[in-house]
């Protein structure tokens, strides 16, 4: 697959030109991400193994002289503009449209993190375009946050490092947008590397770059986007996070990260004793076993390479389907079709309730997996999926 960033760059530049009649002083971009394994473990202080992808969101920036900040997106009909002096107290807000809360929330959180007084800063126009599919579980939101964070950090000389900017993105998503996500997506968007995963301890924020070795093994990641959209800020995501918190409290630990697989027998005893219900136990079991699968996947990648992680991917999907109950018939069909067509392993990725599945696929089986997914969806009466490949790529950067 070719890098589609130039198209997004051209669209961001064109949008900025429509707004201002000027060329940008700079263009910044950040990637979406695929989570190879480790789903819903991040907000439980656990482990994840995402990688940044070669689809990106671009922010083109022009200065203003009137002390205002304006954000515009190719996904929105109208820009949103506020006084720069109002940004430090802008959130929480019911007045800002959700799409604009992402970039404006980043500006708000970045000023707070750096302790910078908005009064002395240059106003900005930000024009946003993206090639990251929205609602596919590839974290288009973190791509917006990462690109915006990198831009304002440099233009306003805030002095924040990549991890601090990831924290800025998470705060924007949690408090400005109202989506109760962890920090995995933002860390992947900021710290991604070519042909490598980001092994992240979500408690300490310690990061290790893990070589994936896909190119040497003639493998790629096929994304099967079901085109069933999901929304983190509503519904089931928050309910499952609350269940995890109940489970941790019942076990007497700060987070499910502190529960080992060997402790699940004791957790199941809490069901028999009426301390927690069966659903809460199954949510716990997914997170605890998923943490272990991440650790196992990292060890297997280092010792045997990517061809040996297929069973871990499949076990992860089964856990999300049966214990966390965040899969959908479309996602299950995508995984089954990919495996039947020769994928090494497959699983849904992202928050669930829609979005995409990924399939670790030999290069010579990509067309077969693509055709099998299309056929399976047609046979089931589902809308046609969007199928494409992604490569592990660089994190947030200045492009021009």
Q: Which residues are known catalytic residues?
A: 185
What is the rounded distance in angstroms from the CA atom of residue 244 to the CA atom of residue 247?
5
Tell me the torsion sign for CA atoms 117, 142, 297, 193: negative
- Cβ(236)–Cβ(283) under 8 Å? no
Place of tokens 């987070």: 255
* CA-based nearest residue to 147, from 104, 182, 190: 190
Give 7-56 as a DSSP string: HHHHHHHHHHHHHHSS--SEEEEEEEEEEEE--S-GGGT-EEEEEEEEEE
Instruction: Give 78's contacts (C-beta < 8 A, 6+ positions apart).
Output: none
Helix, strand, coil share (%) of the chain residues, nearest 5: 45, 20, 30
Strand ranges in 109-203 using DSSP code E only, listed in sequence order? 123-130, 196-201
- Cβ(244)–Cβ(283) under 8 Å? yes
What is the rounded distance in angstroms from the CA atom of residue 73 to the CA atom of residue 93?
20
């Amino acid at each position: 697959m070719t890098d589609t960033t130039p198209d997004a760059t051209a669209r961001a530049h064109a949008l900025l030109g429509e707004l201002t009649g000027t060329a940008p002083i700079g263009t910044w971009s950040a990637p979406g991400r695929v989570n190879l394994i480790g789903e819903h473990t991040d907000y439980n202080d656990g482990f994840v193994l995402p990688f940044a992808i070669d689809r990106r969101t671009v922010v083109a920036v022009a200065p203003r002289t009137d002390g205002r900040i304006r954000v515009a997106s190719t996904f929105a009909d109208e820009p949103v503009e506020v006084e720069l002096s109002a940004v430090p107290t802008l959130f929480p807000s019911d007045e800002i449209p959700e799409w604009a809360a992402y970039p404006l929330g980043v500006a708000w959180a970045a000023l707070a993190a750096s302790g910078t007084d908005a009064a002395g800063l240059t106003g900005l126009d930000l024009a946003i375009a993206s090639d990251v599919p929205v609602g596919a579980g590839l974290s288009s939101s973190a791509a917006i946050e990462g690109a915006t964070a990198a831009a304002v950090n440099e233009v306003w000389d805030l002095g924040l490092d990549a991890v601090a900017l990831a924290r800025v993105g998470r705060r924007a998503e949690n408090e400005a947008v109202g989506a109760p996500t962890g920090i995995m997506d933002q860390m992947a968007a900021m710290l991604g590397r070519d042909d490598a995963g980001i092994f992240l301890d979500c408690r300490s924020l310690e990061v290790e770059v893990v070589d994936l070795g896909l190119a040497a093994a003639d493998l790629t990641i096929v994304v099967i986007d079901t085109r069933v959209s999901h929304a983190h800020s509503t519904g089931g995501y928050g309910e499952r996070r609350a269940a995890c918190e109940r489970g941790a409290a019942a076990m007497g630990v700060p987070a499910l990260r502190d529960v080992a697989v060997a402790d699940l027998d004791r957790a199941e005893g809490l069901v028999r004793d009426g301390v927690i219900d069966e659903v809460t136990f199954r949510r716990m079991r997914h997170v605890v076993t998923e943490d272990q699968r991440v650790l196992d996947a990292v060890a297997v990648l280092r010792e045997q390479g990517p061809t040996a992680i297929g069973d871990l991917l499949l076990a992860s999907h089964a856990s999300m389907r049966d214990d966390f109950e965040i899969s959908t018939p479309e996602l299950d069909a995508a995984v089954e079709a990919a495996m039947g067509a020769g994928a090494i392993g497959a699983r849904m990725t992202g928050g669930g309730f829609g979005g995409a599945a990924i399939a670790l696929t030999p290069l010579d089986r990509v067309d077969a997996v693509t055709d099998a997914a299309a056929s399976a969806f047609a046979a089931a009466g589902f809308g046609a999926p969007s199928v494409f490949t992604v490569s592990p790529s660089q994190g947030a950067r200045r492009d021009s």
